[in-house]
Structure 1
Amino acid sequence: MILIADSGSSKTDWRVIGKDDNISQFRTIGFNPYYQTREDMVAGLNNPHLLALKSQVSQIYFYGSGCTSAANKASVAQAIHSIFPLTEIHVDHDLMASARATCGHQAGIACILGTGSNSGDYDGENIVSSRPSPGYLLGDEGGGVYIGKHFLQDFIYDDMPEEIRKEFIKVYNLTIFEIQDNVYKKPFPNRYMAGFCKFISQHKSNPYCYNLIYNAFRDFFHRHVMRYENYQNKPVNFVGSIAYYNNDILRKAGKDLQIQINTIIETPIAGLTLYHQEKI
């Protein structure tokens, strides 16, 4: 039995490949070694679905946000090992998950636009080049945090259309002080800021919200995709809820910059399942 995980900062999708290719699935909280200690991750992994599989799984392929450095990969592997001590564990970063899920064994540029953002130039087997991914304070262009942060800035400075401001207050009933408290004092400010993207996407017929998303995508293309060699001639693929639910704006921004966008999917778990089934 093989267990596959696609983990972001907000949630983790799990797929179980059993005998005769029977597949089951479930979801848990997200894990990110940049923002969580090993103990935090172990606590999150103590989940009934996972504990029920403890003696049955032979291999685990875990793809996660923040699993780029050797130290972070080791931290995640050790946390998983505490729950599955006899299982072979493979940890890789979420960018590899995006590449394998959307490109398979073909070359292309793989991108993530979810809570955060990332990108890599994939040769069909390995990511041969990638852009820096400095996290939500210094980067994450085009991702949910980036869009949500700019929206909250405009709200605080009263720099958005009055109809959007009134609707936002009606839906969330937030004050500036509550926003600051959530961003500066409470855990996971990245999830908090990205959480407002649902509201922004629902109001993208308003030019302000449309341009907020469009400009964030242009920033992503300039900082990421357009820095790769020969990017104009490579298919560009996306994974992530921000890309998926705003695919019309994403394709428009790409077309305006002469970038050929190919696949856009919400999560990579189905593509990863197919990828690993082929290797069994």
Structure 2
Amino acid sequence: MIVVVDSGSTKADWKMVNSKGVQTISTMGFNPVFHSENKIYQELQEAFDDGVKPDEATQVFYYGAGCWDEKLKGVVNNALTRIFNNADIEVEHDLLGAARATCGREPGISCILGTGSNSCLYDGNDVTDNVTNLGYLLGDEGSGTHLGKSLIRAYFYRELSPGLKKKLEEAYPGGKQAMLDQIYGKETPNVYLASFTKFMSQNIHHPFIQSLLYNSFAEFIDRHARKYRNHLSLPIHFIGSIAFYFQDVIRVVLEERAMTPGNFIQKPIDDLVSFHTNN
């Protein structure tokens, strides 16, 4: 049995593939920056019911947030070894997962646009370059968090039309103080900021929303994707809900810069399964 895992910090998708078919499981996400080996092990013990037979696994391919060096990869690897004790285990950063899911064995530029954002240059085997991701305080251009910030700033700075302002206040009752409390008084302001993309999706044809989306994606492309060698000749691939649902705007940004749009994938797990079962 082959096990393929795509894990963010909040949710993980698991696919267990054998001759009988594919079993799909969802668990909490794990990030070794925040979660210890014992925490990961205990959560998996509880999450896997009698229908999961880890002893049958021969290979485990895990792609996760926070797995960017050998020490952090080791935290996850040790926990997985205690569960899948007969398997060869490979733990990699989620950027390599994004690259393998979108590019397969071909060179390309792979971008993640979800709650946060990231990108990399991929040579068909490994990630060879990565423009630094500064997180939601200083970066995350093109992400749900970045878009939410832009919309909220426009609301507070009185830049929304009366009609759009009314719609926003109806969608988010409580007014400005409730927004500020969520942003500055809660533990996950980035998730709250990203939640405003639902409103933007519902009002995507409004000229102001179109402009806001365009500017955010243009900033991401200019500050990240265009910094990579051969960016004009390589396809630019995307993973994540923001990229998937707003891909029409992203395509315009790329085409205006003579760049080639590639694949737009909401979740990488199925493509990662294909990558590992076909290679």
Q: Taking structure 1 as the reference length, what is the TM-score of the superposition?
A: 0.89
Deviation at 1:106, TM superposition (A): 0.7
* Equivalent residue number for residue 100 of structure 2: 100
Q: Following the alignment from structure 1 to structure 2, what is the Cα–Cα distance between the partners of residues 27 and 114?
A: 18
- Give deviations 1:103-130, integer Å, cap 9, x for gaps: 1111111111111111111111111111
The letter for the 2-side match of 1:48 is A
8 Å CA contact 2:27, 2:47 repeated in 1: no
* Equivalent residue number for residue 28 of structure 1: 27
The letter for the 2-side match of 1:254 is L
Summarize the alignment of residues 115-264 of structure 1 with structure 2, pairs less than 5 Å apart. Answer: 115-264=115-264
Aligned length: 277
Summarize the alignment of residues 46-85 of structure 1 with structure 2, pairs less than 5 Å apart. Answer: 46-49=45-48, 52-81=52-81, 83-84=83-84
Deviation at 1:254, TM superposition (A): 0.7
Q: CA 1:202–1:81 in 2, change beyond 3 Å: closer, same or farther?
A: farther
Which piece of structure 1 moves more, 81-90 or 258-267?
81-90
8 Å CA contact 1:9, 1:191 repeated in 2: no
1:37 to 30, 35, 38: 35
Q: CA 1:200–1:78 in 2, change beyond 3 Å: closer, same or farther?
A: farther
Deviation at 1:13, TM superposition (A): 1.8
Which piece of structure 1 moves more, 54-63 or 253-262?
54-63
Q: What secondary structure, in the 3-state scheme, does the structure 1 residue paired with 2:125 have?
A: coil
Which piece of structure 1 moves more, 49-58 or 217-226?
49-58
Deviation at 1:253, TM superposition (A): 0.8
Q: CA 1:164–1:126 in 2, change beyond 3 Å: closer, same or farther?
A: same
Which piece of structure 1 moves more, 96-105 or 185-194?
185-194
Q: CA 1:79–1:177 in 2, change beyond 3 Å: closer, same or farther?
A: farther
* Equivalent residue number for residue 19 of structure 2: 19
8 Å CA contact 2:145, 2:190 repeated in 1: yes
8 Å CA contact 1:182, 1:189 repeated in 2: yes
Q: Following the alignment from structure 2 to structure 1, what is the Cα–Cα distance between the partners of residues 30 and 216?
A: 25
Q: Following the alignment from structure 2 to structure 1, what is the Cα–Cα distance between the partners of residues 186 and 42?
A: 19
- Give deviations 1:257-278, integer Å, cap 9, x for gaps: 1111111111111110011102
Q: Following the alignment from structure 1 to structure 2, what is the Cα–Cα distance between the partners of residues 215 and 233?
A: 23
5+ residue gaps, structure 1, are none
Q: Following the alignment from structure 2 to structure 1, what is the Cα–Cα distance between the partners of residues 67 and 49?
A: 20
Deviation at 1:79, TM superposition (A): 4.2
8 Å CA contact 1:143, 1:242 repeated in 2: yes
8 Å CA contact 1:244, 1:265 repeated in 2: yes
8 Å CA contact 2:155, 2:165 repeated in 1: yes
Q: CA 1:86–1:221 in 2, change beyond 3 Å: closer, same or farther?
A: same
Q: Following the alignment from structure 2 to structure 1, what is the Cα–Cα distance between the partners of residues 122 and 266?
A: 19
The letter for the 1-side match of 2:216 is A
Aligned-residue sequence identity (percent) comes to: 36
8 Å CA contact 1:98, 1:268 repeated in 2: yes
- Give deviations 1:66-98, integer Å, cap 9, x for gaps: 222333323333444454455433211111111
* Equivalent residue number for residue 111 of structure 1: 111
Q: Following the alignment from structure 1 to structure 2, what is the Cα–Cα distance between the partners of residues 178 and 105?
A: 48
Which piece of structure 1 moves more, 244-253 or 146-155?
146-155
Q: Following the alignment from structure 1 to structure 2, what is the Cα–Cα distance between the partners of residues 192 and 146?
A: 11
Q: Following the alignment from structure 1 to structure 2, what is the Cα–Cα distance between the partners of residues 187 and 85?
A: 36
Q: Following the alignment from structure 2 to structure 1, what is the Cα–Cα distance between the partners of residues 150 and 2?
A: 41
- Give deviations 1:21-77, integer Å, cap 9, x for gaps: x1121323333344x332665565455346734433333211122222333323333
